[in-house]
């Protein structure tokens, strides 16, 4: 990480481009003040580093304004970098790959355009957060549950576009996206899927259309700016049960994985599951409040306790069941029977009437799988007297216990050798496990932050790639390094994607470098900060 990087755009180009943006969108929509820009930087990095800093933030409120922004970018040849809420924390937040980009924040596009309760979907703009979608359902009496990631202040659209995962049904958020409106590289508006048929009745019910389905092409890419998206939501079930399998056994993870697998594959559990250290988020929140009132532990104590937990806290597998009381009881009986064969595994569950979850769920785990938004886990950062940060490292594994054991044996030494604490978690969805490792550090400690970014992360990428485990998502700083690992046939994947990029965004204005995809003018060694 460096304290200065050359800007992507010379001042002589930037200034008139910003003037045009102000003329088109209003003064209020273009932020250039240093204080205002801070919110759109990576919150989890050493404050004096200057990588990944935008030159300005522009905040359109309508599709037409987004089109205008793209047209101006083309005219002046300035790179844009789009975020929705900009809460992609632990992966860089709203920060751009290329310093000097003009950041496009879609926070002000925050309308919920449609809810179809019968068909179980909503249509949202990118600024809509999980909190807002939930509140809208509640205020209007819609008995629908949004599917949530761990923190609810993020954008429904943004989380989906970054291939986010969570609890609820289905656990992979891209799987519940249906039908987009997209502003293309030339400023034109495209509607995907059935939305291309004027007056279509099925834009948000059928995920394909005629010809190839394009929704996936606009995720983790830089081929367009998504301005609307249909999102499928769960109907409120009769019964929701959060099931926990807890064990003190430190070697139990592979057995937990292998025992639950048949119930995932046969569809008994069609939602996200998690294996983590047992944590009650309501206690975390209490602890965080204690820290802020001066009664809590110091950040050194927090770090120490994290270290202890990383070797001795109980493991917990948790997952939701949804349905009628009879069906849920029959499913849970069958699952408990399977875990009866796992030494020292304790099954517990808490059951809620579907319409009571709003009042009765108490902590992050119970709430998230019931679509009740919360930011409890943010306390994990705030506990460090407000200067905590983490960078998430997330390889994808097959749903086999042996792979869980193998990846832990690979990553623990890499992370501990960097003087950091290994905090493994597993998100299971279908045949796949996401091994999400949030490595925490003190962002006011440059050496520690540097150890995370410069030692741990690149070594972890290499070690996992060597073992056949690729990342499903990464920090903006490592997009090239991760794409480098997807190297089959002389990097044909990147070359294919960049061929598409050149066609659909010939001036390369949309989020250059996103997922390692660069426009012709900036690849491969002409881009600022290019790695060797």
Of residues 457-496, those binding a second copy (CB under 8 A): 465, 467-474, 482-483, 485-489, 492-494, 496
Residues 117 to 156 in contact with a second copy, rule: CB under 8 A: 118-121
432 touches a second copy (CB under 8 A): yes
Give the torsion sign (CA, 502, 504, 506, 509).
Answer: negative
CA separation for the pair 372, 382 (Å, rounded): 22
Residues 39 to 98 in contact with a second copy, rule: CB under 8 A: none
Residues 411 to 430 in contact with a second copy, rule: CB under 8 A: 430
Q: Which of 121, 134, 422, 472 is catalytic?
A: 472
Binding span for a second copy by CB under 8 A among 56-64, 227-235, 281-289, 443-451: 227-235
Residues 163 to 182 in contact with a second copy, rule: CB under 8 A: 163, 169, 172, 174, 178
340 touches a second copy (CB under 8 A): no
Q: Whole-number minimum distance, CB 360 to a second copy, in Å? A: 20
Nearer to a second copy, 192 or 279 (CB): 192
Q: Which of 20, 41, 53, 91 is catalytic?
A: 91
Is 322 a known active-site residue? Answer: no
DSSP label at residue 430 = T
Q: Whole-number minimum distance, CB 390 to a second copy, in Å? A: 20
Is 108 a known active-site residue? Answer: no
Residues 342 to 381 in contact with a second copy, rule: CB under 8 A: none
Encoding tokens for residue 81?
Answer: 């970098």
Residues 184 to 213 in contact with a second copy, rule: CB under 8 A: 184, 188-192, 194-202, 204-206, 208-213
CA separation for the pair 311, 521 (Å, rounded): 48
Nearer to a second copy, 313 or 338 (CB): 338
Nearer to a second copy, 47 or 265 (CB): 265
List beta partners, residue 231: 122, 177
Contact 54, 96 (CB under 8 A): yes
Integer CA distances (angstroms), 28 to 17, 31, 404, in order: 16, 7, 50
Residue with tokens 């004096």: 48
CA-based nearest residue to 426, from 418, 436, 416, 440: 436
Nearer to a second copy, 200 or 278 (CB): 200
Q: Which of 20, 473, 494, 527 is catalytic?
A: 473
* Residue among 312, 499, 526, 530 that touches a second copy (CB under 8 A): 499
Question: Which DSSP string do the residues of 195-254 spell out, in sequence order?
Answer: GGSTT-S-TTT-S--SSS--GGGGSSSSSEEEEEEEEE-EEPPSEEEEEEEEE--TT-HH
Nearer to a second copy, 9 or 399 (CB): 399
Nearer to a second copy, 37 or 408 (CB): 408
Site string for a second copy, 253-292 (x = CB under 8 A): --------xx--xxxx-x----------------------
Q: Where are the alpha helices (DSSP H) in 95-203?
A: 130-139, 156-161
Give the torsion sign (CA, 51, 149, 436, 270).
Answer: negative
Phi and psi at residue 403, in whole multiples of 5°? -70, -35
Encoding tokens for residue 70?
Answer: 């793209």
CA separation for the pair 207, 297 (Å, rounded): 49
CA separation for the pair 290, 184 (Å, rounded): 48
Nearer to a second copy, 209 or 373 (CB): 209
Residues 375 to 404 in contact with a second copy, rule: CB under 8 A: 396-400, 403
Is 495 a known active-site residue? Answer: no
DSSP label at residue 293 = T
Binding-residue total with a second copy (CB under 8 A): 100
Residues 293 to 322 in contact with a second copy, rule: CB under 8 A: 322
Nearer to a second copy, 198 or 294 (CB): 198
Site string for a second copy, 500-529 (x = CB under 8 A): x-xxx----------xxx------------
Kindly give, in sequence order, each residue whose CB lies less than 8 Å from that of residue 326, ignoring residues fewer than 6 positions away. none
CA separation for the pair 383, 284 (Å, rounded): 8
Enzyme catalytic residues: 91, 472-473
């Amino acid at each position: 990480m460096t304290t200065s990087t050359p800007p992507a755009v010379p001042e002589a180009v930037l200034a008139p481009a910003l003037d045009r943006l102000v003329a088109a969108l209003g003064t209020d929509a273009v932020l250039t003040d240093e204080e205002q820009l801070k919110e759109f930087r990576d919150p989890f990095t050493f404050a004096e580093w200057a990588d990944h800093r935008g030159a300005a933030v522009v905040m359109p409120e309508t599709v037409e304004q987004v089109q205008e922004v793209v047209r101006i970018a083309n005219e002046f040849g300035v790179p844009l970098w789009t975020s929705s809420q900009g809460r992609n924390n632990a992966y860089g937040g709203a920060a751009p790959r290329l310093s000097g980009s003009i950041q496009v924040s879609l926070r002000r596009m925050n309308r919920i355009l449609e809810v179809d309760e019968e068909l179980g979907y909503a249509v949202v703009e990118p600024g809509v957060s999980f909190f807002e979608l939930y509140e809208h359902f509640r205020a209007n009496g819609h008995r629908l549950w949004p599917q949530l990631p761990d923190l609810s202040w993020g954008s429904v659209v943004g989380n989906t576009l970054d291939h986010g995962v969570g609890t609820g049904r289905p656990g992979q958020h891209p799987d519940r996206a249906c039908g987009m409106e997209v502003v293309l590289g030339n400023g034109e508006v495209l509607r995907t899927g059935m939305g291309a048929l004027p007056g279509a009745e099925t834009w948000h019910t059928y995920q394909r259309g005629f010809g190839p389905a394009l929704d996936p092409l606009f995720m983790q890419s830089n081929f367009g700016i998504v301005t609307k998206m249909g999102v499928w939501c769960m109907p409120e079930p009769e019964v929701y049960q959060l099931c926990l399998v807890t064990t003190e056994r430190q070697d139990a993870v592979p057995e937990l994985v292998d025992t639950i697998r048949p119930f995932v594959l046969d569809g008994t559990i069609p939602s996200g599951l998690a294996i983590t250290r047992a944590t009650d988020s309501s206690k975390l929140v209490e602890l965080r409040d204690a820290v802020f009132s001066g009664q809590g532990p110091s950040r050194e104590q927090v770090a120490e306790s994290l270290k202890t937990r990383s070797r001795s806290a109980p493991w917990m597998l948790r997952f939701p069941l949804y349905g009628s009381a009879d069906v849920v009881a029959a499913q849970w009986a069958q699952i408990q029977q399977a875990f009866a064969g796992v030494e020292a595994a304790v099954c517990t569950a808490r059951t809620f009437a579907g319409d009571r979850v709003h009042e009765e769920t108490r902590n992050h785990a119970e709430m998230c799988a019931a679509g009740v938004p919360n930011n409890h886990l943010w306390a994990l950062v705030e506990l460090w007297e407000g200067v905590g940060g983490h960078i998430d490292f997330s390889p994808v594994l097959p749903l086999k216990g042996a792979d869980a054991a193998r990846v832990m044996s690979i990553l623990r030494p890499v992370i501990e050798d960097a003087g950091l604490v290994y905090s493994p978690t597993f998100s299971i969805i279908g045949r796949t496990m996401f091994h999400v490792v949030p490595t925490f550090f003190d962002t006011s400690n440059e050496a520690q932050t540097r150890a995370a970014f410069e030692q741990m992360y690149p070594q972890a990428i290499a070690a996992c790639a060597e073992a056949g485990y690729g990342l499903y998502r990464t920090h903006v700083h490592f997009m090239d390094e991760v794409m480098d690992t997807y190297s089959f046939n002389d990097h044909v994947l990147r070359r294919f994607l960049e061929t598409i990029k050149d066609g659909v965004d010939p001036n390369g204005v949309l989020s250059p470098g996103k997922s390692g995809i660069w426009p012709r003018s900036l690849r491969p060694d002409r881009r600022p900060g290019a790695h060797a």
